[in-house]
Amino acid sequence: MTDVQLVWPNKELSLRASGLTGYEWVDPHDRRLEHALKFEQLTDGVLGSTSNIVAVGDGLDVIESLRENTSVLAGGIRLVYIDPPFNTQVNFRQYNDSMVRSKWLSMMRDRLEALKPLLAEDASVWVHLDDAEVHRARAIMDEVFGEQAFVASVIWQKKLTRDSRAAFSSNHDTILVYAPSGPKRWKTSRNLLAKDEANLRNRDDDPRGPWADAPFTAPGYRKAQQYDIVTPTGIVHRPPRGRSWYATEPTYRELLAEDRIWFPKGGDGSPRIKLFAHQLRGLVPFTVWGSADTGTNDEAKRHLLALFPDQEVFDTPKPETLLERIIHIATNPGELVVDIFGGSGTTASTAHKMRRRWILAERNTQTVLDFIVPRLDRVIDGTDGGGITSTMSWVGGGSYEIVHVSPRFGSLTTPHRAAAVKKRLSSMSRTPSSRNVA
């Protein structure tokens, strides 16, 4: 619990899904919350510790319904990535991005709180937003996970075009990263980025091949690592003030004999140590991610247009290259990735190609039928050639199950939605044998 908290109207109430698209304020002690959610599996596979799941329903309802199935959540959730409505007060083709702020805040808090007890010990939670609500979202995450769980604010360059009409042309989103175990402990289990071997060069025709170089110094004063180093041109170097040489003099002599020391500036410069490809460790992620490495909204949109040439696709989808980096840093193959704002299905598609388990929740039935299911079917049968397919050498395979969770509140017509979804799935031309409708 933080000393300073954000306050908003109805904060003491829970925001629950009501009907097909609405929300309802509910007292946490309301006895209706004791009623079991209507959970229906629409495919005939067995839900278990290896299942991938598309859940049609509100994220909070889906979390609560799956919480009873301990095998599905075996080992806990390793990564939560959510790309919720940004609450920009602008409505898009596939969804309305305008909520009363108090409802948006409760929506976020309640769903993060529901996820918290299901997280693995080394889990992380990544929340993708823009400037509209990101500062308030961080206050919420401080309350839910504790200020000590904050790891980083990642800045993602989402586009390359410039908006000349704006006071500032915004070209980034922010991804808040929290780890309940704290950044120091989480660091020991997160993955580093791949080595940047493209920058290796062979500047002295070393028979061992190309190499990188690093300063032959270390922070702090160590008496045994204070000595003169004479360059091949006769220049004498001492460690910079407040630093020491990287190793003691005997070790330096050994490295010099092994041709592991490089003197730049034609032999006059301060010594640097040569590092060959097998000696390079992975790279600690920066907090600023450029489009060259992680793609843009436009690239993701072109991927969707290639998959769905006859449909109006999402305006600001996230690229698989962005999700690939997040999933790589935060998980290992076989571990569970959860996204409760499924959208166009990028998280599930990327996780599947990276051989992670995944659970995807999406409330909009039409989005599930028009985008998520067809996209995942193409991933499974190996006909999605975009995104990270070539990077991962993905050729298809795997399976997933589809479930439907009806909200407790609102219109009584919502239970019929499951039957409508099942009927539509049965009639879809692309129905892999791994997704048989029950």
pLDDT digits (tens, 9 = 90+) for 148-197: 999 999 999 999 999 999 999 999 999 999 999 999 999 999 999 987 77
Pick the last residue of a domain from 277, 306, 327: 277
Question: How far lies 438's CA from each of 42, 319, 338, 365, 369, in Å?
Answer: 5, 32, 24, 18, 16
**Domain identity same for 255 and 342:** no
212 in any annotated domain? yes
**Domain identity same for 263 and 213:** yes
- Cα distance between residue 300 and residue 132, in whole Å: 22
Percentage of the chain with pLDDT > 70? 94
Q: What angle do CA 359, 361, 364 make, to 5 degrees?
A: 155
**Domain identity same for 211 and 321:** no
**Domain identity same for 384 and 328:** yes
Q: How confident is the model at residue 94 (pLDDT cuts 50, 70, 90)?
A: low
56 in any annotated domain? yes
Give the pLDDT mean for 400-423. Answer: 80
3 in any annotated domain? no
What pLDDT is attached to residue 20? 87
Please choose, from the candidates 193, 151, 130, 195, the residue with its C-alpha nearest in 3D space to the C-alpha of residue 325. 193
State which of 193-202, 276-285, 307-316, 377-386 shows the largest mean pLDDT.
377-386
Q: Which two tokens stand for residue 337?
A: 């990735």
Report how far Cα 329 is from the mean position of its chain's Cα atoms: 8
Looking at every residue in the chain, the average pLDDT score rounds to: 91
- Cα distance between residue 237 and residue 357, in whole Å: 54
Strand order in the sheet with 119-129: 38-41, 401-406, 53-56, 357-362, 336-339, 77-82, 119-129, 172-178, 150-157, 288-289
Q: Which two tokens stand for residue 351?
A: 């996780």
304 in any annotated domain? yes
270 in any annotated domain? yes
**Domain identity same for 316 and 228:** no
**Domain identity same for 377 and 322:** yes
pLDDT digits (tens, 9 = 90+) for 292-350: 999 999 999 999 999 999 999 998 999 999 999 999 999 999 999 999 999 999 999 99
402 in any annotated domain? yes
Give the number of domains in the chain.
2
**Domain identity same for 270 and 230:** yes
**Domain identity same for 109 and 227:** no
* Ranges assigned E (strand) in 42-171: 53-56, 77-82, 90-91, 96-97, 119-129, 150-157
pLDDT digits (tens, 9 = 90+) for 1-29: 567 889 999 999 999 999 988 999 999 99
Range of the domain at 268: 197-277
**Domain identity same for 58 and 113:** yes
**Domain identity same for 302 and 258:** no
For residue 74, what is the domain's CATH number? 3.40.50
